[in-house]
Amino acid sequence: MALSARKPAIPALTGVRFLAALSVALFHLSFQLAASLNIPTGHFFDNAGEPVELFFMLSGFILTYTHSDVSTVNRAATSQFYLSRFAKIYPMYLLGWLVFAPLIYINLVSLHGPGPGTYARLAFYGVMSITLMQAWIPATANAWNTPGWSLSAEAFFYALFPLLFASLKHRTVRALIALIALCWLISVVPTIVVSMLPKPFSTVQWPQDAANFMPVLRIAEFIAGICMGRLYLDRSSERSWAFDLAAALALVLAVAAMLFSNYLHARVVLFPVFFALLYCLARASGPLSRLLGSKVMVLLGEASFAFYILHVPLFKYAKIAVPSVATSPLQFSIFLVALTGVSIFCYLSIEKPLCAYLRRAYRTPPVARVPATLQR
């Protein structure tokens, strides 16, 4: 099998990843700062973590765009796909896991004291998270390095991608649009159900955690991204400034929804807004797409995975060393700049070379192309 030619990058989609990662970081880190300054935040701390939904859609889109040779028949391409995903996410994820390990040990000992129960919890949380299974149990989803739950979900999505892609590869535009609408409905139903639960279920955390973190309840966002990729591939040569304007409008609407909508309304609104933002950026030719596709923003976007994985543990260490970093605007800004620098360093010196090494070391040798008749 000859692997598909490498498709040209879509720089604006790389740049927008940093904006999404920054939103999630501010959601996790800036509550004390906002409170100390009496900044009116609206619903920001209800909704600013929602760009994870954008990550899931973008993941489905990019995989569809770059792995069009994957199928349930073409085992070589499928094996190469799984290797590629492992090489891309796991080295940096493992670094985040290791950096967080002393913090969770200290936390568990302070809560429960040293002893067999504490070490059993530590081992259980550690195994669940290092095997990317933590999101399947609400109690473990955020137990080890909070952002890691989304990688647990992504691992599930990656496992199903060849099957999902094969089933959607030849769908008509009308069928894809209908499926996107169905994915929108499926994505918000768990949150709606949780909001309607009677007491005592409405006062406990696990139903909300299940709705937020359970991979099977988040896969609709990934499937919508695959559908978006199929729509884009049908018309990818058509670009215009009108899409740039639409992307700018979608970006404004996303920020407004996160600031001014309650959590339930934001969950309903942000799915189509994020979908429109990504699709329009991919098709755009204008100032916003040029800005997000600039060299600086592309570098930040490429480093956004390290930024995303490391922001929680590094901030915890920063607070241990300098407690006022959580409430001082200057110190908090310095931390964000330092975090960005560390993330770029990790991308250039760890993530990128390790990913390239693993892909070279375990590359599947080319084999004869599978006849089209056997792929039906």
Amino acid at 333: S
Q: CA-CA distance, 64 to 68, in Å (whole number)?
A: 6
Q: Specify the pLDDT at position 14.
A: 97
Q: CA-CA distance, 172 to 60, in Å (whole number)?
A: 18
Q: CA-CA distance, 216 to 62, in Å (whole number)?
A: 20
- Structure token digits, residue 38: 């009496």
- Rounded to the nearest 5°, which phi and psi values hold at 70? -75, 135
Instruction: Give me Rg for the CA atoms of the chain.
Output: 21
Q: Specify the pLDDT at position 80.
A: 84
Q: CA-CA distance, 80 to 265, in Å (whole number)?
A: 40
- Structure token digits, residue 347: 């991308």
Q: Specify the pLDDT at position 36.
A: 93
**pLDDT digit string (tens) for the chain, length 376 residues:** 334 456 788 999 999 999 999 999 999 999 999 999 999 999 999 999 999 999 999 999 999 998 877 766 677 778 888 988 999 999 999 999 999 999 999 999 999 999 999 999 999 999 999 999 999 999 999 999 999 999 999 999 999 999 999 999 889 999 999 999 999 999 999 999 998 888 777 678 888 899 999 999 999 999 999 999 999 998 766 788 999 999 999 999 999 999 999 999 999 999 999 999 999 999 999 999 999 999 999 999 999 999 999 999 999 999 999 999 999 999 999 999 999 999 999 999 999 998 888 878 776 554 444 343 333 3
Q: Specify the pLDDT at position 181.
A: 97
Q: CA-CA distance, 365 to 76, in Å (whole number)?
A: 8
Q: Specify the pLDDT at position 71.
A: 66
Q: CA-CA distance, 323 to 318, in Å (whole number)?
A: 7
Amino acid at 318: A
Query: Locate tokens 């990019």: which residue?
Result: 62
Q: CA-CA distance, 231 to 234, in Å (whole number)?
A: 5
